Amino acid sequence: MAATGTNSNGASAYYVTTPIYYVNDRPHLGHAYTTVAGDVLTRWHRQRGEKVWYLTGTDEHGQKIMRTADANGVTPQEWCDKLVEEAWKPLWQHLDIANDDFIRTTQERHTHRVQEFVQDLYDKGEIYQGGYEGPYCVGCEEYKTPGELLDGEGGAKLCPIHKRPVEMLKEENYFFKLSEYGPKLLEFYEANPGFIQPESARNEVLQFVRQGLQDLSISRSTFDWGIPIPWDPKHVIYVWVDALLNYATAVGYGADPAKFDATFPADVHLVGKDILRFHAVIWPAMLMAQGLPLPKRVVANGWLMVGGEKMSKSNLTGIAPQDLTSHFGVDAYRWYFLRAIQFGQDGSFSWEDFSARYTSELANDFGNLASRVAAMVGKYFGGALPAATAAGAAEQAVAEGLAKAVAEADRKIGEEIDFAGGIAAVFDFIKQVNGYLTEQEPWKVAKDDSPEGQARLATILYTAAESLRAIAVLLNPVMPGTAAKLWDSLGAEAALGALAEQRIGQAADWGLLPAGATVTKGDILFPRLEEKKDA
């Protein structure tokens, strides 16, 4: 697929967003999945030397939040403040998420601009008053069409996502003329085939829009936890219109034109597949109506499943990320979900699969390689990295393997947003270096005291250490803590500077780590897993 949205001219930022999360409850693995993915994408582009802006935040209005606050005997604002500060922000910190901003939809920088946006559309004749009656799912905060509902017990009609009864709502509302945008949207999708990813998501949206769009109810008058409609404050703005606008208000829409122009539109909106239509249909139509530029890509990820169902708090399958990080560590956690699940597809989490991959790929393949090389440089050369004076075909093959891994990882992660493919390219290279050591048997070569023998030993260990130098650079976006430890143990900081400053584009330049670098045996990168506590 063609690359879109890179900013090689340096003029504008590569702008990445996550959905803003409902704060009716605490975060679970499903939420963390997208946020970690966005973080890896962000760090990857930063490591390419690009300017990146990574935005996440919380969606705080609407009926769902209001009901939760009521049930807990606090105001919605108090509820949101508590959850954001006690659960959401600390989790992102814990998972090493390097977001540039955190937007909350109750912040004034957002609410005022949302009112201006909606007022503008009203003034342009894009919004009119009308009535609507239909089945509504509070979990989705969305009117459903009767055809998509499931049959429940006692004749109840259920939301296909939440499997809970919908409510019949009848309201006098304001409507956005979404129906008029169908043809323009189809034209846009046609002209921009990479706009919606993966292909299955694109097809679903095309099919949906081709059926014809209905106008969108953009206000609610039966409750008041939302942003008032400026010309008719008995109504609040529909929570999805409010929420989607975070991508604009957070980067200065209507407030800071220089920042807005340098950032907006998003290069990548990462979204779960259940909220694809909002991002690929409603959001672009809202922008078209306002004459604003459209995002470059909307990338839908699949769901993390438990027992064949979407993991969620509402069906009590939501697992807290901390339950896994306390066992596997933060970096293994960041790595696992992107490595094990093809981005875009659903995936099942299992403790056994995580443990098995941890042990084979992280502890055995990667961790052992790092500790063996550091130990041998220590044992045979007193910790001073020797020069490679006797390189031959075997070393050439390692350098070529690295070049291939860098090109492939950069294409997959940096362009195609295929994390599993990109990480696999790096771990294939790790396997190659392990194979190289097994074949070259430096522990045997060490017994040969001749100058030739010592030159071979030096060359083998240099080759392995130089490979690790590049591996640290390539894995820094995925496992920043581990990559930093490795960088440290190679003495690379003193020789080459900060790890974050190493460019992906130069990662394959062979011979960067200078002979003489101080190699130390640092902490074990991936300790053996303890027995699962409550197994």
User: Phi and psi for 6 in degrees, rounded to 5?
Assistant: -75, 160
What single-letter amino acid sits at 130?
A: G
**Burial of residue 382, with CB atoms counted within 10 A of its CB: 0-12 exposed, 13-18 middle, 19 or more buried:** exposed
Kindly tell me which of 60 and 408 has the beta carbon lying closer to ligand MSP.
Answer: 60
User: Phi and psi for 344 in degrees, rounded to 5?
Assistant: 110, -25
| Chain Cα centroid distance, residue 34 | 4
Please give the residue whose beta carbon sits closest to ligand MSP in the complex.
272
Q: How far apart are CA 50 and CA 43, in angstroms?
A: 10
Give catalytic residue positions. 28, 31, 137, 140, 159, 162, 310, 313
CB 175 to ligand MSP: min, Å: 20
SS3 147: helix
Which DSSP category does 18 fall into? -
Kindly tell me which of 219 and 440 has the beta carbon lying closer to ligand MSP.
Answer: 219
Q: How far apart are CA 428 and CA 471, in angstroms?
A: 11
CB 201 to ligand MSP: min, Å: 12
Q: How far apart are CA 443 and CA 301, in angstroms?
A: 46
Site residues, ligand MSP (CB under 6 A): 19-22, 30-31, 33-34, 59, 243-244, 246, 271-272, 274-275, 303-304, 310-312
Q: How far apart are CA 236 and CA 171, in angstroms?
A: 12
Kindly tell me which of 249 and 476 has the beta carbon lying closer to ligand MSP.
Answer: 249
In the numeric block, which tokens belong to residue 115?
Answer: 């009112």
CB 334 to ligand MSP: min, Å: 15
In the numeric block, which tokens belong to residue 535?
Answer: 């197994």
Kindly tell me which of 272 and 422 has the beta carbon lying closer to ligand MSP.
Answer: 272
**Burial of residue 51, with CB atoms counted within 10 A of its CB: 0-12 exposed, 13-18 middle, 19 or more buried:** middle
CB 172 to ligand MSP: min, Å: 25
Question: Concatenated DSSP letters for 370-409?
Answer: HHHHHHHHHHHHTTBPPP--S--HHHHHHHHHHHHHHHHH
Planar angle of CA 132, 129, 230, nearest 5 degrees: 120
Kindly tell me which of 189 and 278 has the beta carbon lying closer to ligand MSP.
Answer: 278
In the numeric block, which tokens belong to residue 110?
Answer: 């957002």
CB 93 to ligand MSP: min, Å: 19
Kindly tell me which of 347 and 442 has the beta carbon lying closer to ligand MSP.
Answer: 347
CB 498 to ligand MSP: min, Å: 33
CB 458 to ligand MSP: min, Å: 49
Kindly tell me which of 166 and 490 has the beta carbon lying closer to ligand MSP.
Answer: 166
How many other C-beta atoms are found inside a 10 Å radius of the C-beta of residue 360?
A: 11
